[in-house]
Amino acid sequence: MAPVAFYGTCVDTPKFGEIRGLEERTLLVVLDGVITSLHRGVAADEHRRRLEEDGTDVRLLEDSEVLLPGFIDTHIHFPQFPFTGAGIDKPLMGQEGFLTSYAFPTEESMAELGTARAVYGMAMETLLSHGTTTALIFASIHSESSKALVDLALQKQGPRAMVGKVCVDSDLAEKYNCMIQSHMSESIDEVEFSARLFGFSDAEVFSKFGLLRGKPGPAAAVMAHCVQMQKAEDSGASIAHCPLSNFFFAHGALPVKRLVREGIKVGLGTDVAGGYSPSMLSAMRAAVLASKSLQFRYVSGSSLADTWRESTEEAKDAHDLNHFEALYLATLGGASALGLAEHLGSFEEQKRFDAVLLRRSCEGRPPVWPTTESKEDLLLKIITLGDDRNVKEVFVDGRSVYRC
């Protein structure tokens, strides 16, 4: 394949709390899906001219466009797409709860191969249209349908799909060096159910059977939610933070900033259909709001009595996320959680080129109004107001897999 270059506003988050590419132009050169060279500022201008003189295809990004690393969804249930948006008014557990009334029946329907292929194909197209290029996916217990999901991902050449059956078998995980994904310490009723079943918490159950491992590379455990987890239960496993569904089912918010500072790998997940949106932009917004909820304080003696010991500033320092930190969770944070940070999640030489090209608005449908804002304001407005209309093009391994 001939090389192709991208020149313009190319933004990534090299570490939690840092963002780069807003203040200067970047030139990315891609060959066979790999970023072979990267230049910023004056160097980007010089190399752009050389490439154009040599006849290399250089794509010039418009002033209203921003190129980001592809979004990485660390927790999503593909069988649950058909009822997305329903059932979130139910409790998680119980005879009339979300799992029994919605999740289990639709997952059982995946036993029919034609149904599974139709649902999974729709789900993949939906993810790509929202800029998701990698996903850690729950399928169902049905082997043939799960294999069909993998086949669809290969045929479409995106998104990158890590597909897991809904089952737990610690012999298998160790024998084949498999990645482990599950839910842990999600809701109070779920923790109580585990205690009744085993005599101790679900985190202790996973630990007892060796399923909370933090192996380097793509063989670690990724546990979703963890909102009700006790500090003593922290482990080497990664956490898939699902803030939207946590509001409905976990009745709490994950202290993301504390966990990241303690060295725990945290990625972002939509948790469709416990979360009603497949958009990682929506997940970023929910992550910021969840961090705000951990800082709520009330007048002493009010009906919502203040139970925080921290001052307002201490609570802000401990919990406050901004939208660019949420972008880290949706990109490099997710790659780290999945053991793929050497290959994905940021713009670096020798990393694979997975990217999403965002624009201010689609013609005739302006979710983000044009003004004279800075590049920082433009990106912030897209994150806070944007949806699939802002996704112009999506790349996986250097290939254009979606274009609007």
3-state secondary structure string across 242-276: CHHHHHHHHCCCCCHHHHHHCCCCEEECCCCCCCC
Q: Which of 265, 270, 218 is nearest to 71 (CA)?
A: 270
Using CA atoms, how far apart are residues 356 and 66, in angstroms rounded to an integer? 8
Residue 167, classified by CB atoms within 10 Å of its CB into exposed (0-12), middle (13-18) or buried (19+), is exposed
Q: What is the pLDDT of residue 112?
A: 97
User: What class does CATH assign to 72-337?
Assistant: alpha beta
Residue-level pLDDT at 361: 77
**Parts of the chain belonging to CATH 3.20.20.140:** 72-337
The per-residue DSSP string of 318-375 comes to: HH---HHHHHHHHTHHHHHHTT-TTTSSS--TTSB--EEEEES-BTTB-SS---S--H
CA distance 48 to 60: 10
pLDDT of 301 = 64
Do residues 402 and 128 make contact, with C-beta atoms less than 8 angstroms apart?
yes
CA angle 182, 185, 188 (to 5 degrees): 135
Stretch(es) of the chain classified as CATH 2.30.40.10: 4-69+341-403
Residue type, 323: H
Which residues of the chain carry a pLDDT beneath 70? 168-170, 215-218, 231-235, 298-310, 363-367, 370, 372
Asked if 81 contacts 112 with a C-beta cutoff of 8 angstroms, the reply is: no
Instruction: Out of 1.10.510.10, 2.40.420.20, 2.30.40.10, 1.20.1440.130, select the CATH number for domain 4-69+341-403.
Output: 2.30.40.10
Measured distance CA(291)–CA(297) in Å, rounded: 13
Map residue 107 onto helix, strand or coil: helix
> Which residue type, as a one-letter code, is found at position 256?
V
Say if residues 96 and 156 touch (Cβ distance below 8 Å). Answer: no
pTM (2 d.p.): 0.94
232 φ/ψ sector (left φ>0, alpha ψ -120 to 50, else beta): alpha
DSSP 70: P
d(CA 80, CA 28): 37
Phi, psi angles (nearest 5°) of residue 324? -75, -30
Cis peptide before 305 (omega within 30 of 0): no
pLDDT for res 200: 86
Asked if 356 contacts 284 with a C-beta cutoff of 8 angstroms, the reply is no
Q: What pLDDT sits at residue 216?
A: 65
On the question of a cis peptide bond just before residue 218, with omega within 30 degrees of 0, the verdict is no
